[in-house]
Amino acid sequence: MSTKPAIVITSIFAPTEAVIKFAALPTHQLIVAGDKKSPAQWEAAGATYLSVTDQEGQGFQLSTKLPFNHYGRKMMGYLHAMQQGAQMIIDTDDDNIPYDDWTFPSMEGEYCTTPVNRGFVNLYKNFTSHHIWPRGYPLDLILDESHNMKEGDLSTENVKVGIWQGLADSDPDVDAIYRLVDNTEIFFDKRTPIVLAEGTLCPFNSQNTAVRSELFPLLYLPAYVTFRFTDILRGLVAQPIMWAHGYRLGFTEATVIQVRNPHDYVKDFESEIPCYLHPNKVIAAVKRAINPSVTVAENLRSAYAELAKENIVTPKELELLDLWLTDVQALVR
């Protein structure tokens, strides 16, 4: 058992520079969930590696239906972290190398906070002057500067952060359209964190992301949507549920540098089409479904049921979600 914050990665590669550096951190536990494509002999000092056999032997219901060769394998790492007693789970990938001062701010405190009810905002613009936007940001807002947060709009407030999104330098999380038409390498400005108030949202990903234990159910990665939509959908679903339970999403300056694994940008574009088509529909559906008087897990289930009615997810997604929630409920009291 370990209450250290858990860093969770899934990888089909031998230990990378990022993995080795995360594994060496004495303040955290690194858990790497393998897949069928992962090397047969995978080992990194300081890391806990879960092979497919290990995952199936843990006894979690999720493993009976979770697809192989899928990013959702991370969820077996999340469950292991919960089983070990982690009170914070940090999501990252094997191509995000932490800086020497890599850390996350406290989950509670006074932070620069946006106004309420501004809808989608492009928070990347508060960390760089370059014309850039996060993957999952509505395309019709890219040129709309009224959806950029002016520094004068920010105020200092005492907030309870549920999830921190740390940015990534060099090759940050942007969509294929940005990469195909610009693709400028970006090193974000150093600045204080920014927290999004209720009703103000921005897409966030799974590349450098800390989640507190009260919100562990929201770590669910949908397995039956396209690969490039998986973590974006998760982040869109999470935000209205967080508001309902008094938690906020925060963004921090870049604390990792991404040395990106090879990608085909046109294939990425194809996989991202739901990111371009559905952000507003997702938020509207989740807001319709949630109820502040029930649990985070119950709101998550209701949100996905509503997304199924909108044909954004399939019935198979609900079946897998139910297994996830059963496993999480058994671990998190």
- 147-157 pLDDT, tens digit each: 999 999 999 99
Residue 2: pLDDT band (50, 70, 90) is confident
Are residue 166 and residue 314 in the same domain, yes or no? yes
The per-residue pLDDT for 205 is 97
Are residue 35 and residue 61 in the same domain, yes or no? yes
Residues 187-194 have a mean pLDDT of: 98
CA atoms of 114 and 120, how far apart (whole Å):
12
* CB-CB contact of 221 with 236 (8 Å): no
Point out the domain boundary residue: 24, 59, 94: 94
Residue pLDDT, tens place only, 36-57: 999 988 989 999 999 999 999 9
Residue pLDDT, tens place only, 125-168: 999 999 999 999 999 999 999 999 999 999 999 999 999 999 99
What is the CA angle 209-206-134, rounded to 5? 100
Residues 275-303 have a mean pLDDT of: 98
Q: Is the dihedral of CA 175, 178, 183, 189 positive or negative?
A: negative
Residue pLDDT, tens place only, 263-285: 899 999 999 999 999 999 999 99
Is 260 a domain residue? yes
Is 99 a domain residue? no
Residue 241: pLDDT band (50, 70, 90) is very high
Is 105 a domain residue? no
Is 209 a domain residue? yes
Q: Residue 333: is its pLDDT beyond 90?
A: no
Is 102 a domain residue? no
Q: Which amino acid is at 71?
A: Y
Are residue 240 and residue 322 in the same domain, yes or no? yes
Are residue 136 and residue 274 in the same domain, yes or no? yes
Is 103 a domain residue? no
Chain-centre distance of CA 249, in angstroms? 11
The per-residue pLDDT for 296 is 98
Are residue 31 and residue 167 in the same domain, yes or no? no
Are residue 48 and residue 148 in the same domain, yes or no? no
Is 104 a domain residue? no
Are residue 2 and residue 130 in the same domain, yes or no? no
Are residue 146 and residue 85 in the same domain, yes or no? no
Are residue 231 and residue 276 in the same domain, yes or no? yes
The per-residue pLDDT for 50 is 97
CA atoms of 124 and 147, how far apart (whole Å):
11
Point out the domain boundary residue: 63, 94, 125: 94
Residue 33: pLDDT band (50, 70, 90) is very high
Residue 277: which H helix or E strand, with range?
helix 265-277
Is 142 a domain residue? yes
Number of domains the chain is built from: 2
Are residue 89 and residue 115 in the same domain, yes or no? no
The per-residue pLDDT for 261 is 72
Q: Which domain holds residue 29?
A: 1-94
Are residue 119 and residue 56 in the same domain, yes or no? no
CA atoms of 301 and 330, how far apart (whole Å):
16
Are residue 138 and residue 266 in the same domain, yes or no? yes
Q: Residue 73: is its pLDDT beyond 90?
A: yes
Q: Which amino acid is at 292?
A: P
